[in-house]
């Protein structure tokens, strides 16, 4: 009787070990890498109301393109924008929103009173403050479609202005290598 109990316990432990190792084998061929991909808005003669949509395509990164059918997870580290090549009044500003997905269904970040000359002159990337739910929604969109639409909509004061806004996503991608 003790032998049957011992054999049953060993068999149970053996089966549990095999099941756990299957997960280990499944994850053994996973590859993770960091990536950045970006796209730019070119604003020409911006004055008053403005709205334009671009598509951030993750497959512009060759590694993402290589594993696009095998991506298991995309985790966003940060989303930034940078103003460059500014030409216009030194006191021109932008106030509005950066919307992710159709009509901002994935997330919206407000920008208020951004001095375009200062932003361009600094050369600094400014982080868009998305909530964790919005980060997750954008990441899910990127995982599924490998792209996300980004809209910049708002008002310029003291225009006309010309400049470029570059939106960049920094992310970690996990894919099945086999």
Contact 100, 134 (CB under 8 A): yes
pTM of the model as a whole: 0.81
DSSP, collapsed to helix, strand or coil, labels residue 97 as strand
DSSP, collapsed to helix, strand or coil, labels residue 161 as strand
* pLDDT tens digits in sequence order for the chain, 178 residues long: 556 665 665 556 565 555 544 444 445 578 999 999 999 999 999 999 999 999 999 999 999 999 989 999 999 999 999 999 999 999 999 999 999 999 999 999 999 999 999 999 999 999 999 999 999 999 999 999 999 999 999 999 999 999 999 999 999 999 998 7
According to CATH, what is the number of the domain 30-176? 2.60.120
């Amino acid at each position: 009787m003790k032998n049957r109990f011992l054999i049953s316990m060993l068999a149970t432990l053996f089966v549990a070990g095999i099941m756990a190792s299957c997960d280990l084998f499944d994850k053994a061929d996973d590859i993770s890498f960091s990536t950045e991909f970006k796209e730019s808005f070119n604003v020409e003669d911006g004055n008053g109301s403005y709205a334009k949509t671009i598509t951030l395509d993750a497959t512009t990164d060759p590694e993402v393109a290589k594993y696009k059918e095998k991506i298991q997870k995309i985790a966003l580290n940060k989303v930034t924008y940078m103003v460059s090549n500014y030409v216009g009044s030194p006191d021109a500003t932008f106030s509005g929103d950066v919307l992710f997905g159709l009509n901002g269904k994935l997330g919206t970040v407000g920008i208020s009173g951004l001095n375009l000359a200062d932003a361009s002159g600094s050369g600094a990337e400014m982080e868009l403050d998305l909530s964790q739910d919005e980060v997750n929604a954008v990441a899910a969109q990127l995982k599924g479609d490998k792209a996300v639409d980004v809209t910049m909509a708002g008002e310029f004061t003291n225009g006309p202005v010309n400049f470029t806004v570059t939106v960049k996503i920094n992310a970690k991608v996990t894919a099945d290598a086999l």
